[in-house]
Amino acid sequence: MRHNRAERMSEDDERQQSSPSDLEFTSNKARNCNATGSGSGHPEFQSPFPDQVLENVLENVLHFLTSRRDRNAASLVCKSWYRVEALTRSELFIGNCYAVSPDRATARFIRVRALHLKGKPRFADFNLMPPDWGAHFNPWALALAKAYPWLEKVYLKRMSVTDDDLATLAESFSGFKELVLVCCDGFGTSGLAIFVSKCRQLRVLDLIESEVTDDETDWISCFPEGESHLESLIFDCVECPINFEALERLVARSPSLKKLRLNRHVSIGQLYRLMIRAPQLTHLGTGSFSPLEVAGQGDQEPDYVTAFAACRSLVCLSGFREIIPDYLPAIYPVCSNLTSLNFSYANIDAEQLKPIISNCHKLQVFWVLDSICDEGLQAVAATCKELRELRVFPIDAREDSDGPVSEVGLQAISEGCRKLQSILYFCQRMTNAAVIAMSKNCPDLVVFRLCIMGRHRPDPVTGDPMDDGFGAIVMNCKKLTRLAVSGLLTDKAFDYIGRYGKLVRTLSVAFAGDSDMGLKYVLEGCPQLQKLEIRDSPFGDAALRSGLHHYYNMRFLWMSSCSLTRQGCQEIAHAMDRLVVEVIRSIGEEEMDDSVGTLYMYRSLEGPRTDAPKFVTIL
Amino acid sequence: MAFEKDLNLDATALRLGLPGTSEEQTSASGKSNKRALPDMNEESVSGDNSNVADARKCDQETAPPSKAQVVGWPPIRSYRKNCLQPKKTEAEAAGIYVKVSMDGAPYLRKIDLKVYKGYPELLKALEDMFKFKVGEYSEREGYNGSEFVPTYEDKDGDWMLVGDVPWEMFTNSCKRLRIMKGSEARGLGCVV
């Protein structure tokens, strides 16, 4: 029974917690466990093999369960259901690669076709963690190769993947179809070359925001000859030139290709050639969107508008890595069909945006740079009534830079885009009033991430902390599951979060709060909290202790540059044996320092990991 | 700044750096989409400042010095930060990336020459990267005491010994680096 509880902890976390007593079954006769709960039945009504029939039925029924939360719940009903569920789970999601070992996972789930694995915590993206911390895909690759010869799909996020791992994937699974690497590193173009050359059934190769070293290998040429099954090829993050002729030939022989995202080494002229070969595309990343050389006056330029017009199925547009705004009008024909537009690498202003955005009536997802200013956001609000997700990135990501967007833009969006569900907004100034307005105008908000880039910045109009704004968000947005706070914040803000943020699963805190009470409010008040990442906030050991009742329900807790001591963390480690408590040292810190630079702790079935580098101490 | 432009002090100033870059950049005229009065823009390196002028930040000289930047703040992935250089010409490029090969090593590497202030730093970095040691450099004899010799291909396509020309001339003309090994290296090392 304890085994089951522990298993439950490590699988997925985002579901209702049922109390352990649900698992009480005193009988060893699991085979008699009857799903309908009608007891052991009278002998004269028993058919020859009731349990087997039931298990077959169960297996067929459980095949229809796709959501991992439902599956986790089903696996808790009884041993029989547990077993059958394990047999029928084909998509395995592991939110923390260190929570469970590859061997344990492959032993329980024996018919997995798709693996979704996550490694480093998100703050590692911002240089808050030294490199080589871990999250190596290698032991998983080897375990998968042994256990799942029919594996088809691997999705990795923030993992370290080597060229050898890519080779393992390509060589071990004859039916391998999809590889998606998000925010990964450790491999290069040589690994890609081996991978694509050996994966004959490849349909999807998506490299998203990953670091790919340039080994000078022409990997595009390594796709096998003949018709390819490619449906999606995304390599906009690959920072090396590619063999364009080989790419053109590849696109020409990929009739199923729907998604193509090019890197910035593809010029607009080359883009044209690809587009006329693939008018069936639904998702396009345009590459640089500028010519190789500046076109002269009389030069004959391709008819870009016609090329875009021919792509009648295009719904998602991105790229524009080195945009020359003169070419923007080429995309007019597709604007009215677009549901997703990513301008977050395009340095354009409001005047350049307006003619585009005024046609994007169906737009649901919009990523953009703050170069469009509040005026640009007003234009978005005026047209994009279906907007669900908005991300506004800073063109100048420094604390003291000019801020082209402000509360004015946020207010406009809140008034125009009532169906908004997710927002990420970087700015230099923000008022409580605008945040409160958004909390009331956009009740469907699920994700609210506001980054006021100046640390500890109060409301510029009233001089108040930003407590009330974020308070309104948690109070009024009843579906909110993800929150990131910023600006000057006192413990009051956290009181609000603890009181009203009952569905919050992910919380990001930086340079906020006054005392331990802040963290206590959150740990005691938010029952759904899974992922808590905190930096540079005055929370100490007492606050840490207040979460003891909850840490097994969380995926992880990250606290860096707070007020924790080694003893405080040690206490937690002693109190909870299924928690791995890592103290990560930054450069210059001594091993026996009493204050803790970075604490990263997570539940795990495996105990301390064996691959920890020298700068990590596991308490 | 009009008077400074007439005297063209920048063009005649002696300084380190590629032609076309200005060394001094106050925080206010950083590589961003600053709003500024149009005639204040000559000093700025950034590409298009075609924004509507905003008088708010017009006194750039009196802008406070920038705060020390905190690690990892604001939370933008470095990939995104690196991609957001405004459109620039080759001469204004933020980095001078050259490929480095070493005879016998299976992979090439890439380095940014702008990162190094001079030959000693560059050589140390190469030594660390490829795990070898260069010999003692002398103008007459080239590199003595090691079978590895750092060379580079210049704009004219000639292979030169690293260290023979002044540093800025080197960074301006270096197209790629090659760490030669063995007898080929010795032959080159003697050519000054």
Beta-strand relationship, A506-510 and B148-153: unpaired
Beta-strand relationship, B176-181 and B97-102: parallel
- List the beta bridge partners of residue A426: A451
Contacts of A586 by beta carbon, 8 Å cutoff, 6+ apart: A130, A597, A598, A615
Say whether A482 sits in a helix, a strand or coil. Answer: strand
Q: By CA distance, what is A509's nearest residue in B?
A: B75
Which candidate, A449, A504, A508, places its Cα nearest to that of A481? A504
Instruction: Chain A: give the shortest CA distance to residue B8, in Å.
Output: 28
Q: Which amino acid is at A99?
A: A
Residue range A491-504, pLDDT digits in tens: 999 999 999 999 99
Residue range A116-169, pLDDT digits in tens: 999 999 999 999 998 899 999 999 999 999 999 999 999 999 999 999 999 999
**pLDDT value, residue A168:** 96
Distance CA A542, CA A196 (A): 52
Choose the mutation target among A396, A453, A536 for the interface with B, i.e. most B CBs under 10 Å: A396
Say if the Cβ atoms of B33 and A396 lie within 8 Å: yes
Could you write out the three-class secondary structure of A19-51?
Answer: CHHHHCCCCCCHHHCCCCCCCCCCHHHCCCCHH
Choose the mutation target among B29, B50, B76, B129 for the interface with A, i.e. most A CBs under 10 Å: B76
Instruction: Chain A: give the shortest CA distance to residue B102, in Å.
Output: 13
Q: What is the mean pLDDT of each run of 10 residues along chain A (619 residues)?
A: 43 39 35 42 55 82 87 89 89 96 95 96 93 95 96 97 96 96 96 95 96 94 94 96 96 97 95 96 96 66 93 97 93 97 96 97 97 97 98 90 92 98 97 98 98 95 97 98 98 98 98 96 97 96 96 96 94 95 82 85 95 92
Say if the Cβ atoms of A290 and B87 lie within 8 Å: yes
Which tokens belong to A512?
């906020």
Distance CA A542, CA A545 (A): 5
Which tokens belong to B85?
């250089």
Report yes or no: A414 and A437 within 8 Å, Cβ to Cβ. yes
Terminal C-alpha separation, chain A: 27
Which tokens belong to A176?
């391998």
- CB < 8 Å from A in window 52-91 of B: 57, 64, 66-67, 69-81, 83-84, 86-87
From chain A, pick out residues whose CB is under 8 angstroms from the CB of B107: 188, 190, 215-216
Q: By CA distance, what is B52's nearest residue in A?
A: A349
DSSP classification of residue A540: B
Distance CA B154, CA A340 (A): 46
Tell me how crowded residue B95 is: count the other CB atoms within 10 A of its CB: 13
ipTM above 0.85, yes or no: no
Say if the Cβ atoms of A214 and B48 lie within 8 Å: no
Q: By CA distance, what is A211's nearest residue in B?
A: B79
**pLDDT value, residue A299:** 64
From chain A, pick out residues whose CB is under 8 angstroms from the CB of B77: 125-126, 183, 209
Beta-strand relationship, A340-343 and A482-484: unpaired
Which candidate, B5, B17, B10, places its Cα nearest to that of B168? B17
Report yes or no: B123 and B181 within 8 Å, Cβ to Cβ. no
**pLDDT value, residue B156:** 86
Residue range B80-137, pLDDT digits in tens: 888 875 444 444 445 788 888 888 887 788 888 888 888 988 998 888 888 888 888 8
Distance CA A289, CA A422 (A): 28
Q: How many CA atoms lie within 13 A of A15 on its CB side?
A: 18
The 8 Å CB, 24+ separation contacts for A63-71 are A63/A88, A66/A91, A68/A11, A68/A12, A68/A93, A69/A12, A69/A14, A69/A15, A69/A16
At which residue do the structure tokens 């039916």 appear? A175
Say if the Cβ atoms of B79 and A209 lie within 8 Å: yes
Q: What percent of chain A has pLDDT over 90?
A: 79
Smallest Cβ–Cβ distance between B87 and the set A123, A322, A399 belongs to A322
Distance CA A569, CA A550 (A): 15
Phi, psi of A87 (to 5 degrees): -70, -30
Report yes or no: A125 and A537 within 8 Å, Cβ to Cβ. no
Say if the Cβ atoms of B72 and A451 lie within 8 Å: no
Flag whether pLDDT at B142 surpasses 90: no
Say if the Cβ atoms of B64 and A345 lie within 8 Å: no
Alpha carbon of residue A42 to chain centroid: 53
Say if the Cβ atoms of B76 and A402 lie within 8 Å: no
**pLDDT value, residue B187:** 57
**pLDDT value, residue B14:** 59
B56 CB-contact burial (10 Å; exposed 0-12 / middle 13-18 / buried 19+) = exposed
DSSP classification of residue B55: G
From chain A, pick out residues whose CB is under 8 angstroms from the CB of B83: 264, 321, 345
DSSP classification of residue A280: T
From chain A, pick out residues whose CB is under 8 angstroms from the CB of B68: none
Which tokens belong to A181?
């690497």
Could you write out the three-class secondary structure of B116-177?
Answer: CCCHHHHHHHHHHHHCCCCCEEECCCEEECCCEEEEEECCCCCEEECCCCCHHHHHHHCCEE
Say whether B1 sits in a helix, a strand or coil. Answer: coil
Report yes or no: A421 and A444 within 8 Å, Cβ to Cβ. yes
From chain A, pick out residues whose CB is under 8 angstroms from the CB of B51: 349, 371, 373, 404
Which tokens belong to A200?
């004959």
Q: By CA distance, what is B28's nearest residue in A?
A: A401
**pLDDT value, residue A220:** 97
Alpha carbon of residue A617 to chain centroid: 27
Say if the Cβ atoms of A394 and B87 lie within 8 Å: no
Confidence tier at B64 by pLDDT (50, 70, 90): very low
Class of domain B102-175: alpha beta
A401 CB-contact burial (10 Å; exposed 0-12 / middle 13-18 / buried 19+) = buried
Phi, psi of B2 (to 5 degrees): -65, -40
Flag whether pLDDT at B32 surpasses 50: no
Instruction: For A109-146, give the DSSP string.
Output: --S--EEEEE-S-GGGGGT-S-TT---BSHHHHHHHHH
Cis status, amide bond into A538, omega within 30 of 0: no
Distance CA A23, CA A33 (A): 13
Q: pTM of this prediction?
A: 0.75
Q: Mean pLDDT across chain B, nearest whole number?
A: 67
Distance CA A348, CA A368 (A): 9
Contacts A–B by Cβ distance under 8 A: 107
Contacts of B147 by beta carbon, 8 Å cutoff, 6+ apart: B181, B182, B185
Beta-strand relationship, B136-138 and B142-144: antiparallel
Which tokens belong to A501?
């943020």
Say if the Cβ atoms of A345 and B84 lie within 8 Å: yes
Report yes or no: A408 and A385 within 8 Å, Cβ to Cβ. no
Structure-model confidence comparison of residues B14 and B117, the more confident one: B117
